[in-house]
A and B are shown apart, each in its own frame.
Chain A
Amino acid sequence: MSDDNVSALQLVLTGDPTLLAIVQLSLIVSLSAVMLAAVIGVPFGALLALTRFRGREVAIVVLNAMMGLPPVVIGLAIFLLLSRSGPLGSWGLLFTPQAMVVAQTALVAPIIAALTRQTVEDLWVEYRDELAAMDVGASRRVITLIWDARFSLVTALLAGFGRAAAEVGAIIIVGGNIDGFTRTMTTAIALETSKGDLPLAIGLGMVLISIVVLINALAWGARRAGERYAG
């Protein structure tokens, strides 16, 4: 193992304050973004799954396409919105953690909405006759479908969190990578690598990979729990 790797491991194991602060901010930003994206994406996805209107298929194609939007483009769009001369410039959010939350929300909401739409629509095809036979009203249908799809939706949320936690392009544009204020794991890794401070970059990389593995384990666990408890 190289000296850089040993130093990185030491930073992680000893709980280096700089590293911990960066990890903490990253988690706060990404978790906040996923929660906001869920509040927007789950109802929107369910609505798209259960309603029929002119242009619905175009909306689905656009939504699916938005899952693959390049983060730097999202970052640029949010930057233009929040910059001094932008429509939301008076809010003073640019180069703050809140701006990073907004950018990650914009990145993750389409993923959650598109996966929710697919999940709820598939379940609706299955349940439609039974719920109609039980004379279940519209609002209860939506609640039933979201509840019965909950384990799949947890997977969608975790997929969104994975995307947010690993993202760098958007938040570096709107956050500015300011030391101690808007520096997250991914932006710090990019910066420290360019500076040649590899131990911190590698240490953060270890934490980031651990988080991604943990997310996948949770997604797998949610699916298994769904199979076990709900069939």
Chain B
Amino acid sequence: MNMRAPPTDLPIMFADAGIVAGAVAILDGITLTISAGSPTVLIGPNGSGKTTLLRAGMGLIPVSRGRITWGGREAAPPAHRAILFQRPVMLRRSAAGNIRYALASAGVPRAERPRRIAELTALVGLNGLERRPARRLSGGEQQRLALARALARDPAVLFLDEPTASLDPAATKAIEDLVHAIAARGVKVVMSTHDLGQARRLAGEIVLLHRGRLIERGSAADFFNAARTEEARKFIAGELLV
């Protein structure tokens, strides 16, 4: 599989980026640079803006103020970005049909698609389930299929929105192993999670959000061992941020 990070989309830079819905600021003055390297994990309570930040980084939501650039460009089609939503929707096709559709959308030549489908189903551990209707797969299998579909785009940056939120421990481990494998291949992973244990296991860098604002950012080791802000220390201690 040819997963590499072309220089085109990285770094992703948020410059005083804000997103407003009605009178509510979903994201407020976010300044953040996402560069190549180990996974960046967004943490924070519900409503802190994690999902919105991921969608904005993917280019699905325009900013209300400030700007976002991808490799220095303000308008960059998501040719080298992919996202796994918290509740991915399976197209009404077989498992292989879902991957085939993503490959076709990414412009992969028809002749190459069978080989890529075989590679991707093997990577996410769905061998033997290629012909099953995607909507009949279990929750964990659907999540892995959605991951394969995202990887079909051969992304340089992969956004994962709480990819294990509704999964049991075994399915969670399968996804985490995949995240490790994907990151090891040079794909920049940017993910959100509520699970601090998962953040410790996966993150190279942590970004803490609260009420749409960036509270603290740093390497995972620094964040968990020497948090600089009161909010971060409370969050790590399991106290409620309100």
Contact = CB atoms under 8 A, between A and B. Distances in A.
Interface residues of B, number: 25
Interface of A: 126-127, 129-130, 132-136, 140, 144, 148-149, 226, 228-231
Given A127-B91, A135-B77, 10 more contacts: A127-B89, A130-B85, A133-B85, A134-B101, A134-B106, A134-B149, A148-B93, A149-B92, A228-B133, A230-B92
A142 to B, nearest CB: 14
B91 A148 contact: yes
A129 B92 contact: no
A133 B93 contact: no
B93 to A, nearest CB: 6
Given A230-B133, A231-B133, A136 B105 contact: yes
A227 B28 CA distance: 44
Interface of B: 58, 60, 77-79, 82-83, 85, 88-93, 101-102, 105-106, 133-136, 149-150, 153
Contact of A230 (B78, B88, B93): B93
B105 A148 contact: no
A229 B132 CA distance: 8
Q: Is the interface of B mostly helix, strand, loop or mixed?
A: mixed
Given A127-B89, A136-B105, A148-B92, A231 B58 contact: no
A226 B133 CA distance: 10
A126 B89 CA distance: 7
A129 B92 CA distance: 15
A136 B105 CA distance: 6
B93 A134 contact: no
Contacts of B91: 127, 130, 144, 148
A231 B60 contact: no
Contacts of A140: 105
B135 A133 contact: no
Contacts of A127: 89, 91
